[in-house]
Structure 1
């Protein structure tokens, strides 16, 4: 992950005044107590790099013993996320029994609770199990499922996640988190697929087969994101990245990718038993989107009362 340059407030008063004036002019951005970073570099950086800079800035001015957790731990572990990251850093404080909201950080109490941690770049961070459960309990279901899917994909055992959930002293949000743990699947390969799976679940559709391979004469012709065998319907999440990003397209042009996708789709539709195919895109799987109509047109039993994608 790219790392931004951090500067602490100089000791000598003249340099400190100069830094303050440059901050007032917008050249520097204060992201922690006595810690700044070049404003333009901060604006140009990725969401993850900006939040990592906030983590480093907050820890530089904090006492030892605090643990980076929740969404901030998501960043430290390099777990997937979508949308903006919070401005404040999430910290678990083993010495506190009440939450504390500060200008640059939110402290979560953990007095009397064992918090499993790992060191990442020298930063004490909640481990994958703890991070996933923290997010499942505190974030919306869309973000929570994205993290749970990836943690399972990395090899964390579902039973360890359930045990981590059961060990929490609070029951608030536990039932919702347990339902997400049952839905989560390590075979999901992208954020968009996680959200599509959540949408199909919320619409009451049967659980699909994930990453199903279609073969003809013993040769795999396609691997699809979701397959509903009883309805004969294939569902693909199309994030459009493969058409736009050069590192995904490789040497092919966007036009060549579109043509290849058309041939692949024709091959899937020709497979015996395939009666429908739906492609979901980002705006459809987000709350208020048109996913229900797209899925219904493909032949899936989406209730007529479901007009837009449910909220998380």
Structure 2
């Protein structure tokens, strides 16, 4: 995203066909969507995120305009500028690199201690100076939870579902940034995140689920595995344990309400399509387990789900270096 003040909201996607305008609005609200203009809908989550990003960027530009020297934005402010996802709502405070070596905190502002990092750690984005994606991911992975760090690192390494875009950062660059973190605990966590991260995750829920699976002691699944039959059916499952004949699907609500996922179908049609897809996969001899945010984000619930489907679990996290 290159705009300095706005993030495009996913367009199109009608809910139902042949409905009056009033009926259309009612169906949109039931599906947690809003009508922006004829033919353009957006989920209320997208609208909220768009507004939060717009307001956050405006604060950063306003702060920079008051400084005699251009500040270098880092941590969550850099993540905002880079369009990196956050597991939870990030703090509203502005994050910058301190002019000296000491960290300072004042109302609405956190000045982080500078550390020596690899070349290219600071560059420009949206007309503002900002830490590189690799530095931003490493710093936040050191300071946030393991799961939150995986969400950031997966997004940075992603090249899109079909490899249609360049990754925001490479694993060696993120690892080099992580290795330069002075605090031992934060450095160890950041390096564990770097080793675990995988750009094939196609949603935040997939990243979160893979992390909670590992924390629950599950063996690593294969990711984004294509399945097909002789009749021409094709599908790609989020997770697969081929030795167990088991697939896992992170079924966030977006699959049944988001305009980009509906593609002109009603939510009921989307649910029916997902059910038919599941039956076709099971006809191949592959069991399917699915979950939503309520399970994916909690290690205890994920552990119970995995155990119920016969996945062997280790006594501790299956994560190298954590």
Q: Which TM-score applies when normalising by structure 1? A: 0.78
Q: Which residue does the alignment assign to 1:212?
A: 225
1:166 deviates by 1.8
1:46 deviates by 2.8
Query: Is residue 2:107 matched to residue 1:96?
Result: no
Instruction: Encode CA deviations 1:180-214: one digit per residue, 9 max, x unaligned.
Output: 11111010111000000001101111111000011
Q: d(CA) in 1 for partners of 2:238 and 2:180?
A: 34
Question: Against the structure 1 CA distance between its residues 50 and 263, is the aligned structure 2 distance closer, same or farther, given a 3 Å change threshold?
Answer: same
Structure 1 segment 1-312 matched on structure 2, within 5 A: 3=5, 46-93=51-98, 95-110=99-114, 116-154=121-159, 155=167, 156-217=169-230, 219=232, 221-272=234-285, 274=286, 276-287=287-298, 290-302=301-313
CA contact (8 A) 1:118 1:124 kept: yes
Q: What secondary structure, in the 3-state scheme, does the structure 1 residue paired with 2:56 have?
A: helix
Q: What secondary structure, in the 3-state scheme, does the structure 1 residue paired with 2:135 have?
A: helix
- Comparing 46-55 and 238-247, the one that deviates more: 46-55
Instruction: Encode CA deviations 1:97-142: one digit per residue, 9 max, x unaligned.
Output: 1111111210002166666122112101111111111111112222
Runs of 4+ in 1 over 6 A off after TM superposition: 303-306
CA contact (8 A) 2:215 2:316 kept: no
CA RMSD of aligned residues (A): 2.7
Structure of larger gyration radius: 1
Structure 1 unaligned spans of 5+: 5-42, 307-311
Q: What secondary structure, in the 3-state scheme, does the structure 2 residue paired with 1:207 have?
A: coil
Q: d(CA) in 1 for partners of 2:234 and 2:179?
A: 43
Q: Which TM-score applies when normalising by structure 2? A: 0.75
Q: What secondary structure, in the 3-state scheme, does the structure 2 residue paired with 1:251 have?
A: coil
Question: Against the structure 1 CA distance between its residues 225 and 111, is the aligned structure 2 distance closer, same or farther, given a 3 Å change threshold?
Answer: closer
Q: What secondary structure, in the 3-state scheme, does the structure 1 residue paired with 2:198 have?
A: coil
Q: d(CA) in 2 for partners of 1:123 and 1:173?
A: 27
